[in-house]
Amino acid sequence: MLTNFFRVFKFGWQEFLRNVGISLGTIFIMFIALSLVAGTLFFKGISESLITTLKEKIDISVYFKPDTKEEDIFKTREKLENFPEVEEVDYVSREKALEIFKEKHKNDPQIMEALNEIGNNPLPASLNIKASSAQSYAAISNFLEKGEFKNLVDKVNYKQNKLIIEKLFSILSTVKKGGLVTNLLLILIAVVVTLNTIRLAIYAKKREIEIMKLVGATDGFVRGPFLVQGLLLGLFAGFFSFMVFYVINLLFPSQGSLIFAELGFLNFFEKNILLFLLIQVGGGIVLGAVSSLVAVQRYLKV
């Protein structure tokens, strides 16, 4: 049993080396197919990371009337935190708001002078609210403006942010759906292209397969070397595809950190390196093996 295994592997390896031109061409085709699939996954991932990061920066603020008691603001916050669609509620006191305002405009002497002339703190206390969907923001805004705490509320800035919020969530939904469809399409193309490429390579051995069958070789013995060849093709194609992504990741860390550091997807490849390894190398091995088995099957019916 072990002898037959090594013999089959040896024949497969020899076949791989003997037709090195065809092998390299097939590896290149599989490399392109696997890289396209991995590239689509990469861009889908960083797009979602970008949008998610931007989503985290989107919120609505409710500003309270100057005479509102802090305990009433806390009651409002507690009520909002009980909403299932609310992800986070941050309280900004009048003192904190003034501190933030001063820090933001510290280099603008006109604004700072005007603030000093006013004398007292003109800024209201507020709650910054993050929610899970565009519809949630609309419901929260409606609750604040018309609900039990409406007499405490001076202004809700939802209307100013409405267009941005709705557009952002729409893009996020489109990216998720479009990425899935694109991935499935590219996987189908990769399978079809690889299958036909390997089928053409095996077609050159059609006569040899027929002779082996005529002299009594079993289907398993005939199929074995081509299975090994397919495994090797997929292994090399997947490895080269993975290394291209790995090298690109090593070459451009500084540029990426300057441009994308705040967007949250600088380390997307590192965080998902095992997934890329599985898709590119593991996927290449499976793709090469299955394509070889399917391609050689038609020539076993002698």
| Residues 233 and 27 sit within 8 Å (Cβ to Cβ) | yes
Residue 42 — pLDDT band, cuts 50, 70, 90? confident
Rounded to two decimals, the pTM is 0.60
What are the domain boundaries of the chain? 2-54+168-300, 66-151
Report how far residue 48's alpha carbon sits from residue 174's, in angstroms, rounded to the nearest whole number: 10
Residues 180-221 have pLDDT tens digits of 677 677 777 777 777 777 777 677 667 777 777 777 767 777
| Diameter over CA atoms, the chain | 104
How many C-beta atoms lie closer than 10 Å to residue 75's C-beta?
A: 14
Distances (CA, A) of 220 to 5, 208, 209, 224, 226: 11, 15, 12, 6, 10
**What φ, ψ does residue 126 adopt, rounded to 5°?**
-150, 165
pLDDT for 265: 45
Give me 209's structure tokens: 């397969």
**What φ, ψ does residue 89 adopt, rounded to 5°?**
-135, 120
Query: By mean pLDDT, which of 55-69, 131-145, 222-236, 257-271 is the weakest?
Result: 257-271
Residues 84-121 have pLDDT tens digits of 888 889 998 888 888 888 888 778 788 777 777 777 77
pLDDT for 254: 45
Residues 114-138 have pLDDT tens digits of 777 777 778 889 999 988 777 788 8
pLDDT for 26: 81
Residue closest to 239 by CA, chosen among 275, 270, 278: 278
Beta-bridge partners for 63:
126, 155
Provide the CATH number for the domain formed by 66-151 in this structure. 3.30.70
